[in-house]
């Protein structure tokens, strides 16, 4: 909600709505459910739904987040918020919404002289890492940010083309199709 135009649901509401939809599809015979998620903030709600589906119905469900499936794609880190892979994907889907001249991934802002921001929920203090739950505006004014200790600032987005975006999107879709075939084969104890 730190950026104009953002719409949101509470984690509880997202969980409840998703669970209601799942309860309906389970009633009509669905045996496996795969959630394809593109926002890390949704994971807690989706995890709660997966646990409830297993507990209440014995249904196996999974959450696939494109940025978690692979550390790198085409040599670029997949975990950068607003980074090369996200930009490529948007170029492949809706290039008219991407303004490459504004594309930049800065290092997250440090919080103090000794506290280095690693991501929106991790910091480094001396040689250790600590979970600290921040808001996006605490670490970046643009909304884009590096998400790992090894990331570096980025301003050259020349790789982000519609063609590369479609190629990367096809790569993820094929991976998920292959996973779904295997997901159906998983046998659970009765």
Run of H or E including 50: helix 43-57
User: What pLDDT shows up at residue 96?
Assistant: 97
> Tokens at residue 75, please?
């040599």
With tokens 């670029």, the residue in question is: 76
d(C-alpha 145, C-alpha 79), whole Å? 9
Asked, for residue 178, whether it belongs to a domain, the answer is no
Classify the C-alpha dihedral 171-172-173-177 as positive or negative. positive
Asked, for residue 26, whether it belongs to a domain, the answer is yes
Single out the residue of 16, 24, 27 nearest to residue 49, CA to CA: 16
Q: 80 and 60: one domain? A: no
How many independent structural domains does the chain possess? 2
d(C-alpha 185, C-alpha 33), whole Å? 13
List, as one string, the DSSP characters of 88-154. Answer: HHHHHH-GGG--GGG--BPPPPPSSSSEEEEETTEEEETTEEEE----HHHH-SSS-B--STT---B
Q: 47 and 89: one domain? A: no
Asked, for residue 19, whether it belongs to a domain, the answer is yes
Q: 80 and 146: one domain? A: yes
Single out the residue of 76, 137, 140, 71 nearest to residue 105, CA to CA: 140
Single out the residue of 178, 172, 153, 176 nearest to residue 92, CA to CA: 172
Q: Which of residues 20, 49, 69 is at a domain's end? A: 69
Q: 165 and 122: one domain? A: yes
Q: 80 and 110: one domain? A: yes
Per-residue pLDDT of the chain in tens (190 residues, 90 and over written 9): 787 888 899 999 999 999 999 999 999 999 999 999 998 889 999 999 999 999 999 999 999 998 889 988 999 888 887 889 999 999 999 999 999 998 888 777 778 889 888 777 888 899 999 998 888 888 777 777 766 556 677 889 999 999 999 999 999 999 999 999 999 999 988 7
Asked, for residue 177, whether it belongs to a domain, the answer is no
User: C-alpha angle with apex 188: 51 to 14, nearest 5 degrees?
Assistant: 20
Q: Which of residues 52, 69, 86 is at a domain's end? A: 69
Sheet holding 128-131, edge to edge: 115-119, 122-125, 128-131
> Tokens at residue 174, please?
């094929």
Q: Which of residues 40, 69, 98 is at a domain's end? A: 69
User: What pLDDT shows up at residue 149?
Assistant: 56
> Tokens at residue 54, please?
């297993």
User: What pLDDT shows up at residue 73?
Assistant: 92
Asked, for residue 157, whether it belongs to a domain, the answer is yes
β pairing state of 76-77 and 115-119: unpaired
User: What pLDDT shows up at residue 52?
Assistant: 98
Q: 64 and 120: one domain? A: no
Domain that includes residue 107, residue range: 71-171
Q: 39 and 105: one domain? A: no
Question: What pTM value is reported for the model?
Answer: 0.84
């Amino acid at each position: 909600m730190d950026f104009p135009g953002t719409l949101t649901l509470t984690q509880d509401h997202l969980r409840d709505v998703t669970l209601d939809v799942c309860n309906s599809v389970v009633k009509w015979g669905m045996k496996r459910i795969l959630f394809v998620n593109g926002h890390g903030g949704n994971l807690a709600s989706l995890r709660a739904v997966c646990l409830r589906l297993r507990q209440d119905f014995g249904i196996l469900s999974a959450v696939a987040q494109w940025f978690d499936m692979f550390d790198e794609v085409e040599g670029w880190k997949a975990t950068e918020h607003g980074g090369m892979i996200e930009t490529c994907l948007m170029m492949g889907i809706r290039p008219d919404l991407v303004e490459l001249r504004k594309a930049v991934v800065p290092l997250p802002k440090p919080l103090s002289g000794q506290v280095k921001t690693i991501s929106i929920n991790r910091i480094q203090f001396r040689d250790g890492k600590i979970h600290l739950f921040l808001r996006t505006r605490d670490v970046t004014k643009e909304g884009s940010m590096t998400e790992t200790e090894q990331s570096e600032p980025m301003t050259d987005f020349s790789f982000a083309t519609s063609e590369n975006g479609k190629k990367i999107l096809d790569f993820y879709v094929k991976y998920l199709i292959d996973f779904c075939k295997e997901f159906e084969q998983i046998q659970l104890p009765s």
